[in-house]
Amino acid sequence: MFIDTHTHLFSDSFDEDRGDVIQRSIEAGVEVCLLPNIDVNTIDAMHDLEKNYPNNCYSMMGLHPGSIGEDWQEKLKVIEKKLFARKYIAVGEIGMDLYWDKTHIDAQREAFKMQVKWAKELNLPVVIHAREAFQEIYEVLDDLDDENLSGVFHCFTGTLDDVAKINDYHNFKFGIGGVLTYKNAKLDRVVREIPLDLLILETDSPYLPPTPHRGKRNESSYLLHVAAKLAEVHGVTLAEIEHQTTLTAKNLFNLPT
CATH number of the CATH domain containing 154: 3.20.20.140
- pLDDT greater than 80 at residue 257: no
When the pLDDT of each residue in the chain is averaged and rounded to a whole number, the result is 97
Average pLDDT over residues 187-205: 98
Residue ranges in the chain assigned as alpha helix (H):
18-27, 43-52, 72-83, 105-122, 134-144, 160-167, 188-191, 223-234, 238-253
pLDDT at 87: 97
Average pLDDT over residues 52-58: 97
Whether the full predicted model's pTM is greater than 0.95, yes or no, is yes
Report residue 32's pLDDT band, with 50, 70 and 90 as the boundaries: very high
For the beta carbon of residue 53, count every other beta carbon within 10 angstroms.
18
Q: Which of 166, 210, 165, 216 is nearest to 188 (CA)?
A: 210
pLDDT at 186: 95
Domain count, the chain: 1
Side-chain half-sphere exposure of 103, counting CA atoms within 13 A: 8
- pLDDT greater than 90 at residue 105: yes
Residues 207-226 pLDDT 10s: 999 999 999 999 999 999 99
Containing structural domain, residue 176: 2-253
pLDDT at 155: 97
Residues 78-99 pLDDT 10s: 999 999 999 999 999 999 999 8
